[in-house]
Chain A
């Protein structure tokens, strides 16, 4: 299936290659570079390309291209999903996925790739299994290794791969047994010029961090499962149980994992936490423009809105911005033409406002479209859909674990058209 993998950095250098079948020369990447040249923006490179003898399927993540070479028919999503899994694994192991990190840990990355695919077919992609075979580097371990000549490759063999629950390794032990669940909801919305909602929906995800000894069997139930419209689960969740009782029943993986993602049914009206008043205009003459943005709280359920930022992708002709912010500060990047206004906490008594003038390239025509505003925000201890976890029970083990649930609301793709 997957024949070879090339990692390519932003400037187009191949800095890692791996072949699972016979070797394919680097020249195959030339077709990709050609497409990259044509696309201008790296995001615009088509993910699937055809060359005379091969097919190239690539993903772009963290300023790196993961380019795989395929020779025969294969579901493209299969390859794309796998490439993202590779990036996730690198991220998981080294904390970030960048050229520098991969170059520093090239041997570990190579060992990982070796285990993840056999003859181009995924073998072990479960992070728990991989970590048993190849331990992620820690400072302590690297010190010990240099002193004793030990290695990062586990001498135990991956037991997880054999069991029917490959996501959990055997013999897990903790002194503090704890299970934390974060319910994170994101609001996707498009508001039009006048502030009316064109489109709004809520997407949620439950991230878990479970450190429990032995083989615990957990059940998690909600106060109002009816809110959930569509969801996807980690393979550990027993689907039948959910279908019949609307209860999440599972033997958790060890460590951090995504338990489920869900979509809140569209019947419910989405409560938007903020409103935006904006006025951006470019004058016909004098090559300048005005900008005035005010943000206020709308439906915040008594919680404070934090981490508020506004990002504006200005038209290419905007040279500089001369603005004053009543709260927070703003930066205008001349190269990328991106204006970022970092507000921080939203104070309902004194609404933050950003206003001033924009200067445009002299002689250039007035931009036709006003730039859209992208908004990010965070609200702690609130799931905006109203979803609530009612209880978490553990079976199969005798000890009493420490349990915790946290809620968080964020702005996902929150865009205001102007």
Chain B
């Protein structure tokens, strides 16, 4: 902006504040703009206030807030401020304050910064609902966009882009383009934020916005980096090619970027690296980073192949990323630590991943919610890599003050970590947990014991004995859970456990939890030949109580009856028929169906089909033992640290992490030519492009090169060439529209 223009604007601004209505002096552009809108603004708002009063009648707290309008229109700044504070208070409470819109919007050009900020808050909240009135404020922001103070420019852009009114899209686009080339990195940062806002308002602008993103990605300021990568992730996450040239720069800037930006950049780079580098996880790979030279020198295909088969050589850029993210493990921001941890998990050679362990364990000292997320991720990691967390096993010991979901997660991890060496320690720890007053947790512990018992065969008997002891526990849920787990365990090795089954039969009368009763009945039926005397007796008792049982128990009674009938029909024939008759008239159709099915299957009659012969083989077939698995088994299909991982379903907008490419893509795309520092920003981009094309295109394609060169300079330089003048025209058109609208409102309310 030239000094003349600036001066003109100052004059013009001061007039605005004193309420002067017309201005035909000063810089041409400013004058036109001012002439267009300063009159209607004041009058329009005044008229709007009348409208507000009319709407106000319908508001419920009309009486209480009646004075707000008057206060907003008064000349005293303190009154206005007071009123605005109350209005913001209303917004905060979620009450509707939209009828004050005209009165508020009038104050948008006020000098008082606090008042201004509050008006901005109001505008952003209600502009979407009152689109036409919101247009009144646009010109103020347009003017502020040219302010010499970078903060005023930035905040104007911030508010302008937050007003979700489709009609101003061209104005926003122009403003973003201009701000993206601003001298101040802070304004450029704001423009990166504005890109996302415009994109969500009007996705059709994508192509133009990608151009701006491309330009901003080249920015060397740490302030901009995080925000522009965020914009990249929202607008065009698939345009990975835009990153190539900036990859090394982003890696090097990373440590100095603000913490929130770090998180976004790291997760983007994780995705990038998975598409550009080859896997460092090859079996038996040797890790040798020092013979890069040899790699580059070996020209013949044969040699190269040999090399690859023998040693894996990490791409220096891959190494750069790992090296530059490592210090961030020491960040105080838990999100940053987690994102570095996931980067190492997904990208680093297996033996290097262990460095993240300590930092993750450190996060467990943080808030409850942080613990929850970190524990979830550790649970997933610990399934694949027990060794990583085993030395820190004690950090996952449960305290009675932990909340239930933290306790269950810790339990999950402890179970994952169990092996032959530490199982006795873990089981001793579990013994304490079983006694916990938190019954849901005690039940989870019993399941965990079951899992340990199946995974580690040495302790199966010990666990089983322990669980049998729990059967005499007074708490129902504990007993029920134990029965269920014992059932599963017996299934895995049913040979010599008739004692336990007998014991359970004895306890049967005292157990009331349906699931547990059903489990015992199933066990009886399955192993009825091992307890030939007890099983028929149990069936006799069940025949008596059949009608009073829960549905799942009834189904198992029918099962038991059928199995006994097949093995010991002498004793149980009548009982079975009685039970099948009861089942036939049960209220639940599931049970009726099952009864009918069983009857056809086992009771021989002339109608019964071929299946009858196989009844025994069907019902008493050896059944595969259930596999007790961690709930986190399949979680690793999601990238660690993501929302999808946490919920275990794909969240909207989740970007799949691609598999490593089999052959590394061209590394040279990341090479950046050294450019001597140039002061102006926009031309620099043009030059860079030209140089790039120099390299890429050979002399026989000069035409193309020139075309590209002129294209880029055209779109970059918004003040001169033809492409930008169309934008200017659009902008003028909208201004005109605003003007006409204001006139209409003005006339309407006068009438």
A interface secondary structure, majority: mixed
**Contact A50 B330, beta carbon cutoff 8 Å:** no
In the complex, the chain B residue whose C-beta lies closest to that of A230 is: B358
Contact present for B125 and A72 (CB under 8 Å): no
Report Cα–Cα, A266/B255, bound state, in Å. Answer: 29
Among listed B222-230, B504-512, B524-532, B669-677, interface-contacting one: B222-230
Determine, out of A154-162, A299-307, A342-350, A385-393, the stretch whose residues face the partner at the interface.
Answer: A154-162
Give the residues in chain A near B400, CB-CB below 8 Å: 313, 371-372, 415
Q: Nearest chain B CB to A53's CB is how many angstroms away?
A: 9
Nearest B residue (CB) for A40: B404
Per the 8 Å Cβ criterion, residues 635-684 of B in contact with A are 641-644, 646-647, 649, 651-655
Q: Are B78 and A80 in contact (CB under 8 A)?
A: no
Q: Which of A157-174 contact B (CB under 8 A)?
A: 157-158, 161-162, 164, 166
Instruction: Provide the residues of chain B in CB contact with A199, threshold 8 Å.
Output: 394-395, 397
B654 pairs with A232, CB closer than 8 A: no
* B10 interface residue (CB < 8 Å to A): no
Asked, given contacts A72-B651, A80-B370, whether A164 binds B200 with beta carbons under 8 Å apart, the answer is no
What is the chain B residue whose CB lies nearest that of A78? Answer: B335
Q: 1/0 per position for B553-585, CB-CB distance to A under 8 A?
A: 000000000000000000000000000000000
Chain A nearest CB from B199 CB (Å) reads 10
- Write out, one digit per residue, whether chain B residues 122-144 have a CB within 8 A of any chain A CB (1) or not (0): 00010010000000000000000
* CB within 8 Å for A81 and B125 given contacts A157-B151, A239-B327: no
Stretch at the interface among A10-18, A209-217, A325-333, A375-383: A10-18
Contact A75 B358 (CB under 8 A): no
Q: Does A374 contact B (CB under 8 A)?
A: yes
CB distance from B229 to the nearest CB of A (A): 11
- CB atoms of B367 and A84 under 8 A apart: yes
Complex interface: chain B residues within 8 A of A44 (CB): 403-405
The residue on B at minimum CB distance from A77 is: B335
Residues of B with C-beta under 8 A to A73: 642-644, 651-655
Is B436 an interface residue when CB atoms closer than 8 A count as contact?
yes
Q: Is the CB of B334 within 8 A of A18?
A: no
A166 to B31, CA, bound (A): 39
Contact of A261 among B255, B332, B372, B405 (CB under 8 A): B332
Given A199-B397, A203-B365, A229-B358, A114 contacting B327 (CB threshold 8 A):
no
Residues of A within 8 A of B436 (CB): 369
Q: Judging by beta carbons under 8 Å apart, are A118 and B149 in contact? A: no
B444 CB, nearest partner CB in chain A, Å: 14
Q: Is A401 an interface residue (CB 8 A)?
A: no
B730 on interface, CB distance cutoff 8 Å: no
Q: Among A75, A152, A155, A231, which residue has its beta carbon within 8 angstroms of that of B263?
A: A75
CB distance from A193 to the nearest CB of B (A): 9
The A315-352 residues at the B interface (CB cut-off 8 A) are 315-316
Residue among A72, A84, A368 making CB contact with B652, cutoff 8 Å: A72
**Chain B interface bracket (under 10, 10 to 19, 20 to 34, 35 or more):** 35 or more
A60–B368 CB distance below 8 A: yes
Nearest Cβ distance between residue B161 and chain A, in whole angstroms?
8
- Give B112-130 as 1s and 0s: 1 = Cβ < 8 Å from A's Cβ atoms: 1111011011000100100
User: A107 with B118: in contact, given A55-B643, A369-B435 (CB under 8 Å)?
Assistant: yes
Bound CA span A84–B647, Å: 21
Residues A75 and B335 in contact, CB atoms below 8 Å apart: yes
Given contacts A23-B128, A75-B642, contact A41 B94 (CB under 8 A): no
**Closest 5 A/B residue pairs (Cβ):** A72-B653, A153-B114, A151-B114, A149-B78, A369-B435
Are B331's CB and A70's CB within 8 A? no
Closest-by-CB residue of B relative to A205 is: B365
Indicate which residue in A77, A233, A243, A415 contacts B370 across the interface (CB closer than 8 Å): A77
Q: Which of B99-107, B189-197, B598-606, B742-750 lies at the interface with chain A? A: B189-197
> Complex: how many Å from CA A59 to CA B370?
9
CB of B40 closer than 8 Å to a CB of A: no
Residues of B within 8 A of A41 (CB): 403-404
Q: Which residues of B contact A (CB under 8 A)?
A: 77-78, 81, 85, 88-89, 91-94, 112-115, 117-118, 120-121, 125, 128, 149-151, 158, 161-162, 164, 184-186, 190, 193-194, 196-197, 200, 222-223, 227, 230, 255-256, 258-260, 263, 267, 327, 330-335, 337-339, 358-359, 361-362, 365, 367-370, 372-374, 394-395, 397, 399-401, 403-405, 429, 432, 435-437, 473-475, 641-644, 646-647, 649, 651-655
Complex Cα–Cα for A118 and B397 (A)? 40
Give Cα distance in the complex from A231 to B367, angstroms. 17
**B89 to chain A: closest residue by CB:** A106
Residues of A within 8 A of B77 (CB): 149
Between A19, A47, A234, the greatest number of chain B beta carbons within 10 A of the residue's beta carbon is seen for A47
- Listed A/B pairs (9) with beta-carbon separation below 8 Å: A21-B197, A72-B652, A73-B643, A73-B644, A110-B88, A121-B260, A151-B114, A198-B429, A233-B330
Residues in A lying within 8 Å of B, measured CB to CB: 1, 14-19, 21-23, 26, 41, 43-44, 46-48, 50, 55, 58-61, 70-78, 80-82, 84, 106-107, 109-111, 114, 118-119, 121-123, 125, 149, 151-155, 157-158, 161-162, 164, 166, 190, 192, 198-199, 201, 203, 229-235, 239-240, 243, 258, 261, 263, 313, 315-316, 365, 367-369, 371-372, 374, 413, 415, 417
Partner of B397, one of A17, A70, A107, A190: A190
**Structural contact, A106 and B92, CB atoms closer than 8 A:** yes
How far is the CB of A93 from the nearest CB of chain B, in Å?
16
A72-B653, A368-B475 known; A153+B113 contact, CB < 8 A: yes
Q: Closest CB-CB distance, B466 to chain A, in whole Å?
A: 15
Partner of B359, one of A48, A106, A118, A230: A230
State the Cβ distance, A408 to closest chain B Cβ, in Å. 17
Quick one: which of B121, B654, B655 has the most chain A CB within 10 A? B121
Given contacts A190-B397, A230-B362, contact A70 B200 (CB under 8 A): no
Taking CB atoms, residues of chain B closer than 8 Å to A19 are 125
Q: From residue A33, how far is it (CB to closest CB) to chain B in Å? A: 15
Least CB separation from B396: chain A residue: A199
Q: A41-B403, A48-B646, A73-B655 are in contact. Are A234 and B332 (CB under 8 A)?
A: yes
CA distance A43 to B151 in the complex (A): 42
Which residues from B are CB-within-8-Å of A46?
A: 372, 405
Determine which residue in B255, B337, B362, B397 has the highest number of CB atoms from chain A within 10 A of its CB, and name it: B362
Q: Which residue of A lies closest to B337 (CB)?
A: A232
Which residues in B have their C-beta under 8 angstroms from that of A125? 260
> Which residues of chain A are near B78, meaning CB under 8 Å?
149
Complex Cα gap A365–B374 (Å)? 38
| A161-B186 contact, Cβ under 8 Å, with A43-B403, A60-B368, A417-B432 | yes
